[in-house]
Amino acid sequence: MTGAVILASTRAGSRPLLRATLLAAVAVSLSACSLFGSSKEAKPAPLQPFTAALNTSVQWEARIDSVKFPLSISAQDKQVVVGDSDGVLTALAVDTGTPLWRVNVGKGLSAGVGSDGRFAAAVTRDNELVVTEGDKILWRKTLTTPVITSPFVAGERVFVLTLDRVVVGYDAQDGRKLWELRRPGEPLTLKQSGVIGAYQNTLVVGQGSRLAGVDPTRGSLLWEATVANPRGTNEVERLADLVGPMGRDQEVFCARAFQSAVGCVNADRGSAIWTRNFAGTQGVSADATLVAAADASDRITAWGTRSGDVLWTSDQLQNRKLSTPLVTSKAVIFGDSEGYVHFLSRDKGQTLQRVSTDSSGVATAPVLMGNTVLVVTRNGRLYALRQD
């Protein structure tokens, strides 16, 4: 189970020793409780035979270092930017896999890379935010709070979502801190990648169980919409942070609240469209008609994007430790812990195609650019799969 580590948030007057004790107690209780299943892992469902109904091929492969952090791929302007565990950022041409530039930031990374095609941003394990323009390092800045969510780069700004869900905006060119948004939050937060993106002139971020719209120039709160209503008798049971990545179609953003619910929000109105109880730990993907996610046992559900009605369910990939899905016009795509990439039909969730990468397991949500699906494995291989 990924992302099952909890951080004790800073409270006024709390002592470091007390916080460390609370952290240890929570970690022990979570490892033993039914929230994450029994200590004996369930066997993954065997792969079922299928009749191929979608032509896919490996367009190219590239080698990066091993991936030991919550990785994401940034694809912009026909290039993909990816970071490895040793702190090397690499840009490759999406159509050929040809390296365009490479830069070593000097330290291993704690999160994936954010890029707008011009600037790239990453955070090291020493909690240093590093911003580059191509293979040139522009600036570095030490952060006071750990970061495991990939920075978001847009409008010549770099936006960072810290582990305690504080949002900070920086000037991409010189590193000036522009603003900081610190909202009252829950006493505990997940050590798992959060959600951050943009809609028109609004920064969209997850704060606790809410999706928030933020003015990117001033850092002021514009709206909040609730994805889940946390319930429980203690702080652990009520933990419902939004976890990334989120899905989007135009003004509609859809997200998963950890072990609680899946829901969609209208960013024009700043209000929830629908929410459904659905326990799980990975993010969601969406397009104009379909939202897809897997629960904690890897049972897959698809909902209508605007209605929230269940379109189909599938348990054929149960307990295979699925990645966050990718919804495309041709298929709903999941990676699993054995390195298989599964292409499921949009109408019924049936297997259309299955592609084997390496046995180390898929490390990140697949990413679509054009007709190419990008997948990274834990051993550090980047695969470009073409859907025909």
Taking only the tens place, the pLDDT of each residue in 263-321 is 999 999 999 999 999 999 999 999 999 999 999 999 999 999 999 999 999 999 999 99
Confidence (pLDDT) at 296: 94
Confidence (pLDDT) at 59: 93
ω before 184 within 30° of 0 (cis)? no
Residue 211: count of CB within 10 angstroms of its CB = 28
Confidence (pLDDT) at 23: 33
Strand, helix or coil for residue 377: strand
**Residue that the structure tokens 């969601």 belong to:** 284
Task: For residue 151, give both structure tokens.
Answer: 């920075």
Q: Tell me, what amino acid is at 170?
A: Y
Distance CA 345, CA 212 (A): 32
> Is the distance from CB of 273 to CB of 261 less than 8 angstroms?
no
Confidence (pLDDT) at 71: 55
**Rg of the chain, C-alpha, whole Å:** 20
For 76, counting Cβ atoms within 10 Å of its Cβ (0-12 exposed, 13-18 middle, 19+ buried), the class is: middle
Query: Following DSSP, what letter does each residue of 340-359 receive, concatenated?
Result: EEEEE-TTT--EEEEEE--T
Q: Which CATH number fits domain 47-66+281-388: 3.40.50.620, 3.40.109.10, 2.130.10.10, 3.40.50.300?
A: 2.130.10.10
Distance CA 163, CA 215 (A): 21
Confidence (pLDDT) at 70: 54
> Is the distance from CB of 144 to CB of 132 less than 8 angstroms?
no
Q: What is the CATH number of domain 71-191?
A: 2.40.128.630
Distance CA 108, CA 336 (A): 25
pTM for the model:
0.87
Write the Ramachandran bin of 51: left for phi over 0, alpha for psi from -120 to 50, otherwise beta: beta
**C-alpha dihedral (88, 158, 323, 321), degrees to nearest 10:** 80
Q: Which residues of the chain register pLDDT less than 50?
A: 1-39
The residue extents of the domains of the chain are 1-41, 47-66+281-388, 71-191
Tell me which long-range contacts 130-137 makes (C-beta under 8 A, separation of at least 24).
Answer: 130/105, 131/158, 131/170, 131/172, 131/175, 132/89, 132/103, 132/105, 134/91, 134/101, 134/103, 135/101, 135/102, 135/103, 136/103, 137/103, 137/105
**89 - beta bridge partners?**
83, 103
